[in-house]
Amino acid sequence: MLLDAFKPAGSPLARGSAASVGPGQGVVVRVHEIDGRPARARVAGPVAWSAGARADVLETPGEPLAPDGDGCLDVALTGFEVATILATPADAPDLAPGPGTDAHEPAQPIATRYWLHNSGPAPRGNMPVAVYLSPTALTADGPVTATVRVSSELTDAPASGTVAFETPPGWTAEPAELPYRLAPGGFTLTDITVTPPPDAAPGRHWLAARLSYGGQTYEDVVALDVPDGHTGPTLLADLGVERVTVRRGERALVPVTLRNPTRGPVNGTIWAVSSWGTWPGVTPACHGFTVPGGERVESVIEVDGTAIPPGSYWLMAKAAWHGCVAYTEAVVLEVTP
């Protein structure tokens, strides 16, 4: 018998629900039989169970299961069967606070067009409310108009708040902010007009739209290009070494330089990318950054030789910002005995 899953009951993220979950309200235990023969599983928990039931993969309760005298649940399985069991604790355990399903992304604000950053699935929390600006770039030789879309993925609760706009210094936006109130699954479309000053510097500026929900901040941007200036690339990333050598038990700091040639600040995320087998010793896995317009900042990747077996590997940094992605050159990472 193999334990496949042990988690709080309920899957609010999967169904776009605003409901909270916790192990004190019930847990899901998923097991499967691995020998191809009928077997029985006895499910015991950190506390006695007061009730139980078989369930399908959507956690819909089925056949009731009565706890035995020890507060355990007995489940019969056929060969190779996968069984999902709902179990309710008799007494909710006193658990230390943890991130749970409300875990936050380490890099804030979160780019709502996350798929352009080649970073995999949706951000933690599943982005229940999001803001988008379109088009993604405008030539700002006078007042320009962008469309703001605010949408809710929640299926059982309304959402309300305010979209804040960040314009370049001296520029104006109408409206200056955008309150929203959405029904479950709702969205709204609004135009925003941005006006540059008469002496706007040539080059690329940024209009940012941000909203906050559930302890996280979501952002989208429009590039505002004043003619006769630099428009790209909008960020340059460089790993400040040609090779990393660290002895077993020692640490090394690898600088990552980010330079922003645009006129406004650039927010984004840096990932440390390295060979399989090195991940426990290459940190942080990802973190956020902000580079002011026309400036450069240095970030650091730390390599811990105590957490990586001796050998030869590779290391690079990946940066993503405003719908763009850049990778530094890969360098040799060598851990010596």
CB 222 within 8 A of CB 137: yes
CA 43 to CA 22: how far, in whole Å? 19
- pLDDT tens digits for range 37-50: 999 999 998 889 99
In terms of domains, do 69 and 127 share one?
no
Split at pLDDT 50, 70, 90, the class of 161 is: very high
Q: Three-class SS string for 213-263?
A: ECCEEEEEEEEEEECCCCCCCCCEEEECCCEEEEECCCEEEEEEEEECCCC
Same domain, 166 and 83: no
* Same domain membership, residue 209 and residue 260: no
**Which CATH number fits the domain that encloses residue 38?**
2.60.40
Q: Is residue 16 part of a domain?
A: yes
Region of 203 please: left (phi>0), alpha (psi -120 to 50) or beta. Answer: left
Among 226, 247, 280, the domain-final residue is 226
Q: Is 55 a member of any domain?
A: yes
Range of the domain at 69: 2-89
Rounded Cα distance, 166 and 43, in Å: 54
Are residues 197 and 142 part of one domain? Answer: yes
Per-residue pLDDT band for 5 (boundaries 50, 70, 90) equals: very high
82-96, 214-228, 288-302: lowest mean pLDDT where? Answer: 82-96
Give the chain's domain count: 3
CATH number at 310 reads: 2.60.40.10
pLDDT band at 266 (very low <50, low <70, confident <90, very high): very high
Looking at 63, 89, 115, the residue that finishes a domain is: 89
Q: Are residues 331 and 291 in the same domain?
A: yes
Indicate the residue type of 150: V
Q: How confident is the model at residue 260 (pLDDT cuts 50, 70, 90)?
A: very high
Least confident stretch, 17-31, 98-112, 161-175, 259-273: 98-112
Q: Does 257 lie in the same domain as 214?
A: no
114 vs 15, residue with greater confidence: 114
pLDDT digits (tens, 9 = 90+) for 112-159: 999 999 988 889 988 999 999 999 999 999 999 999 999 999 999 999
Do both 114 and 204 map to the same domain? yes
Q: Are residues 109 and 201 in the same domain?
A: yes
pLDDT the model gives residue 25: 81
Q: Does residue 130 share a domain with residue 211?
A: yes
